[in-house]
Amino acid sequence: MKIKNYINGEYVNPISNNWIENYNPSIGEVYGQLPDSNSQDVEIAYKAAETAFQSWSETTLDERSQILSKIAKLIIEKLPELAMAEAKDNGKPIHVAKSIDIPRASANFQFFANAITQFASEAHESVGQNAINFTLRQPIGVVGCISPWNLPLYLFTWKIAPAIAAGNCVVAKPSEITPMTAYLLGEILTEAGLPKGVLNIIHGLGTTTGQAIVEHPNIKAISFTGGTKTGVHIAKVAAPMFKKLSLELGGKNPAIIFSDCDYNEMLQTTVRSSFANQGQICLCGSRIFVEASIYQKFKTDFIAAVCKLKVGSPFNNNTDIGALVSKTHLNKVKSYVDNAEQYGGKVVFGGNLVAVESSENGYYLEPTIIEVNDNSCILNQEEIFGPVVTIMPFNEESEVLAMANDVSYGLSATLWTNDLKRTMRVSKQLDAGIVWVNTWLLRDLRTPFGGMKNSGVGREGGLEALRFFTEPKNICIKYN
């Protein structure tokens, strides 16, 4: 199986004819190849995008909206095939790909198909000066979108849909680790009638293909989701060219549980917020703080609930936890578990590799719970990004708030309480771009999405994404 680049509406080989192996993490075997694209491929994609820009940016909003809706519809029509590809490429349970990843990829296109028809700009009358100002929101031109491997099509489309809805043309790169669904998207774009060159999908390594997109002097904006270290690097490369940047980076999110919460609902949701997608979601609650009065009960019940999670092949419908995305990532996650004691933690559940029947070489790890007693330990400070959480008791609201914020990240937080005043007090003081109260990962696509501190710069989602992908221009008209 050979994946190809999608440039100017055609599937093409990389110029160098160099290829990278693509792994199926559920069995630990190579099952295909993808282009090892370089800056020449990026240049060809850029040229196609540049050529398409004028016409696409002048396409009526209705036309753009209809094409985006058609893409959304086709994604749903091809859901079984796309879900299978996502599970095979990423290791996630196929029922998760079917119920979450692929429907959300479709929803991303449908949401921005609607949003672009409602996107308005401001007008300011300069009273007493006989002048009116209004803001034009113009597409930027050619923009770059770079996405990670954890939610491959879901996050890829989260960037692309608003970019093209706003009238830009795109050079996009999915993660080299999970290229398959982005590849399949090419056919859908063609079938939906997206004009050639509007969206170009280039495969390859971050350090070559991704780097070439970021370095390209005429790609004026970069929307990037990935690790904080990569985000720092991209910011450094982009800054001298004054590129517009949206960086959605890592997280080390607190889940704060007060004793007055709805206990059963909290317990069920906390299992999900800890281990959904093998814990490989930037929004997972990986530091669990529990009020001391219910800590022992929580610990017992949480372990009992996690114990029931089934680790297994992504293709079994009763699998809760599939394979981690790659051998390298598995080793990284496992090293935190293996060093837990040295880092001041105690593994109270899990921690072992799992040999899944008929898939013994797959990258499986038990869901793992580590008890810690100091928030400053490495386990509570570094993003592990796997099926590993820490638990720790607290006594006072002020104490847990200080611990929740005492980390370099600030992406999301989850709060469990029925006390309205506390909800407001704590939510306002948390360093987080998103606070979920008595729920987790309940997403409304109209809301701003992104993080504070080392979790990123800027917001995507809703009109924020359309603002990012447009250049505001103030026009001032004097009328006397």
Q: Annotated active-site positions, please?
A: 248, 282
Min dist CB 268 to ligand NDP, Å, is 23
Task: Determine the Cα–Cα distance for residues 480 and 318; give it in Å rounded to an integer.
Answer: 72
Binding site for ligand NDP (CB under 6 A): 146-150, 155, 173, 175-177, 205-207, 210-211, 214, 225-227, 230, 233-234, 248-251, 282, 383, 385, 411, 451, 455-456
Which among 468, 421, 422 is positioned nearest to 449, based on CA atoms?
A: 468
Using CA atoms, how far residue 49 sits from 33, 104, 169, in Å, is 25, 26, 5
Nearest Cα neighbor of 161 from 240, 108, 232, 95 is 108
**Closest approach of ligand NDP to the CB of residue 367, in Å:** 18
* Residue (261 or 365) nearer to ligand NDP, CB: 365
Smallest gap, in angstroms, from Cβ of residue 216 to ligand NDP? 11
Nearer residue to ligand NDP within complex by CB, 22 or 150: 150
Alpha-carbon distance of 469 to 466, in angstroms, equals 5
> Residue 329 phi/psi, 5° resolution?
-70, -40
With tokens 């939510």, the residue in question is: 427
Q: What does the DSSP 8-state code read for residue 321? A: B
Nearer Cβ to ligand NDP (110/175): 175
For ligand NDP, the closer CB: 32 or 148:
148
Q: Which is nearer to ligand NDP, 232 or 307 (CB)?
A: 232
3-state secondary structure of 460: strand
Shortest Å, Cβ 225 to ligand NDP:
5
From the CB of 6, what's the least distance to ligand NDP, in Å? 16
Q: Which is nearer to ligand NDP, 226 or 351 (CB)?
A: 226
- Residue (121 or 208) nearer to ligand NDP, CB: 208
End-to-end CA distance of the chain: 68
Burial 187-209 (b: 16+ CB within 10 A, else e): ebbeebebbbbbbbbbbbbbebb
Q: How many CB atoms lie within 10 A of CB 340?
A: 23
Which residue lies nearer to ligand NDP by CB, 238 or 267?
Answer: 238
Query: How far, in Å, CA of 145 to CA of 194, rounded?
Result: 17
Closest distance of CB 316 from ligand NDP, Å: 25
The distance of closest approach from Cβ of residue 178 to ligand NDP in the complex, given in angstroms and rounded to an integer, is 8
Minimum CB separation of residue 83 from ligand NDP in Å reads 19
d(CA 173, CA 156): 8
Answer for the pair 79, 94: CB distance below 8 angstroms, yes or no.
Answer: no
Task: Provide the phi-psi class of 8: left if phi over 0, else alpha when psi is between -120 and 50, else beta.
Answer: left
- Segment holding 185, helix H or strand E: helix 180-192
d(CA 46, CA 7): 9
Q: Which 3 state secondary structure label does DSSP give 478?
A: strand
Cα torsion angle, 186, 189, 194, 198, sign:
negative
Which residue type occupies 240? P
3-state SS class at 10: strand
